Structure 1
């Protein structure tokens, strides 16, 4: 079930930078310029969370004020509660990602609240964003495993997804926060979501911690996921999930899907160039294999 198109969201400016030393605003703008040149339709720009907890993204409002430079890109921001939602809306963000951890251990580490408490906030957050003319994606973190609680009971992400849809969420996303998912487990959970909820805008977010991130992404696409997150150069990781390493790399995901005839709108050569900019911005090597190896030579005519 290979689709004609898949929408990639570039999460490097948020998920990619959140565990790095703070990057100056002008460097973030340079990175956004490079990402815009790739043709990626959606970019997660920042998060409106506690600047004490995530100092690398303390400039969220200042960055949001610069997003007018790229009018053809849908920018989003991640929030962890009602306060962050209000701040994101005040800053002009109209696509909000509300993250809910399916595991209580990660939920407490991430937001100092239980999963049930986080789920109870969905309705208010959806109402606030919809009243402002925006849309809400509920991201279900630790959908497969938690660094504190171990394997996640698969009824928990299903329960969160079902409640989010009832509250009017515009999209649901399943997140492999610590990179432990495998293709078989991905297929089973994605199929369960579709079986429980029917037609729903379903996305997925994979880390490449154990080397199977792209395999999981392909499996998700084969089972009906049409929205995928990826990070330039493979940057990223969760500061509240020990052992979580980088995301799947945007350029590698686009390269794989292009070979299958899937349209992502992403220029792979430009995406590789953007990975080089990301490497310069963070000041160290990034995990991307495609950045190291480059594109293969075209076949001789």
Structure 2
């Protein structure tokens, strides 16, 4: 499998799915019988987005699988799907009364809140907070559909307020990322962009215009892990995603993740997880009652 072939897991860019070309936000309210805002994306199959999607449920409930967690969204709850997370919807045909707001990170104006890296479960605001959030979703949809002058600026600021209200509802440790230094944030961003081409911390350090020692010092001070440990964890996460969701063999996945030999990939994976790649694939598919083949 060459790098110029189709990705192991389908990936969607927001610019390929937009109703309004050039406007890097999509706002959709889903009701029974409505077409999903990504009509050519089969959301019952594992896929990933290269953008954020904020889901806000009304009176209905919704169920999803995000990476290795089942996410249950009760009525009046909110969940943020972060870029690159593997996602599939268990009940997309039944879900109704749901706002889906998709946007790229660079669409937000300066001063917008820093968003959590990933959510472990949906949050349910109190009734007054949810009323304000739902109203902002309605305003976003109305502005999105109106196509008036200065539309982008209005949408950006409505979205910034909506996300600020959303972050208020999160547990305190979920928003700790606003304390992270810029270097760590950029390191995480580069891992998402170059994971399949850069396999050493030195390559990331050069791109960040710092020494490997300095990168390691900053990362360890903020996370308690070395820069190489953070990179290894990210590679393991990607391996787990592919082992569960793809139909490719272990050797193909190893090569795709920049391991030149499958024996090294097997040792690396077992060292970090206690399982072989094949053992993880079998166990995880049994656990989630899921087989993509």
Give the TM-score of the pair, scaled to structure 1: 0.30
Instruction: Kindly indicate whether structure 1 or structure 2 has the higher relative contact order, using CA contacts under 8 Å at least 6 residues apart.
Output: 1
Larger Rg: 2
Give the TM-score of the pair, scaled to structure 2: 0.31
